[in-house]
């Protein structure tokens, strides 16, 4: 269910579906798409998952037939003095085929463990994706907040500049004292310092945005409502326990560790395989005959086939130690599932609390802004009739700027907290955000299905090339804000 009665900034049922933005303007959808297509951390995680996919065919290969060929050329530099038929040179070749029949369950269980670890890796990739998106949303909102704060502080500097000039003029005609002038100049200097700090923070926010998305922020538009926000913390936890990728990955690794126990225990069991092979030797006509006129064969062939059984009898305790080690690791993996579950529950409840607090802060801060605007208007009016001093006006102006700054930060915090809640629930990935409308989404299952059954020793992929984009050519951002 969607929570009702919250700030309109965080409500709605459609995600990132906005009307066309003005020319040269960026939306949150653009930022997420940029990160999805070009972020190096995400691209590296995808490549790492493709490497994990290969563990399945690697484990399967242990249960498949193997064919080995060999060839040899020998030059007999010195023959035995007692041999009258020793050849001078020899060429030999052989082919051997082995087919494993029984391995004590090692191959079967190793394949199952690898398959579980592939699923765990796919969940990890989901987690990386949602984490990157959460960072992008935070960076996007930081830029919007930074631009708003720069605008507020720049406007305050302009207002205080006018106030300082007016105060000086009134001092010249004897209407105000030197103290009033000093107060105005002091507030102006402080406002100028606040503006410099706001500009530096804006540049830092824009740099973080470039780092994550590979694009320069260009007139960022207000973000769309977030969908699927839960009605209660209990609802959020229930969804997270089913969909959180970190928890899913921990469960899959725990399941894989169970198969590792059987793999380790298989070291006590027999191994059975069948084999066949053939050999060819050619002495290149160099075998001499001990009797004149005798015909000595210069080539020979041989073939063999059989069954091989290997039965371990005593291995110094190694199989038992390996199995106990696997059991201990499985116990750790099971505990990690509980640890991951606890962490997910804590993350969800914390994000829920932060989101609730932020939405409430928006309402209270908006009331503070309205009251500060009314107060400033009243103080200015009372100053004209001598009931208020210049310091009262300066204080009222400062309170209004502070209230507006807090409102900007509250809106940013509410949106980021809402998205963090979705991420903790496992609902902040490309498929959840509708990014597939802008192109085909990366599906790790596609690569796994492609490679899991491969047999060919000579099958390889093209040499890797960088998928992410560099940012060295993007001009360094400034603190200029769109007009």
The mean per-residue pLDDT over the stretch 135-158 comes to 93
Q: Is the pLDDT at 252 greater than 60, yes or no? A: yes
Please report, rounded to a whole number, the percentage of residues in the chain having pLDDT higher than 90: 66
Q: Is the pLDDT at 185 greater than 90, yes or no? A: no
The mean per-residue pLDDT over the stretch 444-456 comes to 94
Q: What ranges do the domains of the chain cover? A: 8-63+119-260+339-451
CA pair distance 30, 430, nearest whole angstrom: 12
By C-alpha distance, which of 408, 434, 459 is closest to 144? 408
pLDDT of residue 21: 38
pLDDT of residue 20: 37
CA pair distance 162, 188, nearest whole angstrom: 10
Residue 129: band (very low, low, confident or very high) from pLDDT cuts 50, 70, 90: very high
Name the DSSP class of 220. Answer: B
Q: Is the pLDDT at 29 greater than 90, yes or no? A: yes
Based on its alpha-carbon atoms, the radius of gyration of the chain, rounded to whole angstroms, reads 37
By C-alpha distance, which of 286, 280, 285 is closest to 300? 280
**What element of type H or E holds 199?**
helix 178-213
The mean per-residue pLDDT over the stretch 18-46 comes to 79
**What element of type H or E holds 113?**
helix 106-172
Contact 137, 416 (CB under 8 A): yes
Higher pLDDT, 341 or 398: 341
Sign of CA dihedral 51, 57, 60, 64: negative
By C-alpha distance, which of 167, 195, 202 is closest to 181? 167
CA pair distance 239, 231, nearest whole angstrom: 12
Helices and strands (DSSP H and E) totals, the chain:
11, 4
From the number of C-beta atoms within 10 Å of its C-beta (0-12, 13-18, 19+), residue 343 rates as middle
Top-level class of domain 8-63+119-260+339-451: mainly alpha
CA atoms within 13 A on the CB side of 375: 17
Contacts with 150 (C-beta within 8 Å, 6 or more apart), sequence order:
195, 198, 199, 202, 479, 481
Q: How would you classify the pairing of strands 66-75 and 89-102?
A: antiparallel
CA pair distance 397, 377, nearest whole angstrom: 10
Residue 19: band (very low, low, confident or very high) from pLDDT cuts 50, 70, 90: very low
Which residue has 């890796």 as its token pair?
121
Angle at CA 141, nearest 5°, toward 137 and 143? 120
């Amino acid at each position: 269910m969607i929570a009702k009665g919250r700030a309109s900034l965080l409500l709605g049922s459609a995600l990132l579906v906005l009307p066309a933005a003005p020319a040269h303007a960026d939306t949150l959808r653009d930022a997420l798409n940029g990160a999805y297509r070009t972020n190096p951390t995400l691209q590296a995680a995808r490549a790492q998952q493709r490497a994990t996919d290969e563990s399945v065919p690697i484990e399967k290969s242990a249960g498949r037939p193997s064919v080995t060929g060999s060839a040899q050329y020998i030059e007999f530099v010195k023959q035995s003095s007692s041999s009258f038929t020793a050849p001078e040179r020899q060429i030999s070749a052989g082919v051997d085929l082995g087919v494993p029949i029984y391995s004590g369950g090692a191959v079967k269980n190793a394949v199952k463990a690898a398959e579980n670890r592939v699923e765990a890796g796919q969940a990890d990739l989901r987690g990386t994706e949602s984490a990157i998106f959460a960072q992008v949303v935070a960076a996007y909102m930081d830029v919007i907040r930074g631009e708003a704060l720069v605008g507020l502080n720049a406007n305050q500097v302009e207002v205080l500049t006018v106030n300082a000039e007016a105060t000086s003029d009134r001092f010249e005609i004897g209407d105000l004292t030197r103290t009033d002038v000093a107060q105005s100049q002091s507030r102006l200097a402080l406002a100028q310092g606040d503006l410099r700090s706001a500009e530096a923070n804006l540049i830092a926010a824009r740099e973080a945005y470039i780092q994550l998305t590979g694009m320069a922020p260009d007139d960022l538009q207000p973000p769309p409502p977030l969908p699927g926000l839960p009605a209660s913390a209990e609802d959020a936890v229930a969804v997270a326990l089913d969909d959180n990728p970190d928890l899913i990955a921990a469960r899959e690794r725990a399941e894989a560790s169970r198969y590792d126990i059987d793999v380790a225990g298989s070291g006590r069991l027999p191994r059975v395989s069948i084999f066949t092979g053939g050999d060819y030797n050619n002495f290149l006509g160099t075998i001499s005959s001990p009797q004149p006129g005798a015909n000595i064969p210069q080539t020979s062939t041989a073939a063999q086939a059989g069954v091989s059984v290997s039965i371990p009898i005593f291995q110094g305790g190694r199989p038992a130690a390996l199995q106990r080690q696997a059991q201990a690791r499985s116990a750790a993996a099971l505990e990690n599932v509980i640890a991951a579950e606890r962490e997910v529950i804590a993350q969800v409840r914390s994000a829920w609390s932060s989101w609730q607090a932020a939405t409430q802060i928006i309402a209270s801060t908006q009331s503070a802004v309205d009251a500060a605007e009314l107060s400033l208007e009243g103080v200015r009016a009372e100053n004209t009739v001598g009931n208020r001093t210049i310091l009262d006006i300066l204080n009222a102006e400062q309170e209004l700027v502070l209230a507006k700054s807090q409102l900007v930060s509250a809106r940013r915090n509410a949106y980021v907290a809402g998205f963090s809640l979705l991420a903790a629930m496992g609902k902040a990935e490309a498929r959840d955000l509708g990014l597939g409308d802008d192109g085909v989404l990366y599906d790790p299952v596609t690569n796994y299905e492609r490679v899991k059954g491969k047999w060919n020793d000579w099958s390889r992929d093209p040499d890797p090339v960088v998928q992410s984009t560099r940012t060295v050519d993007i001009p360094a951002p400034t603190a200029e804000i769109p007009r």
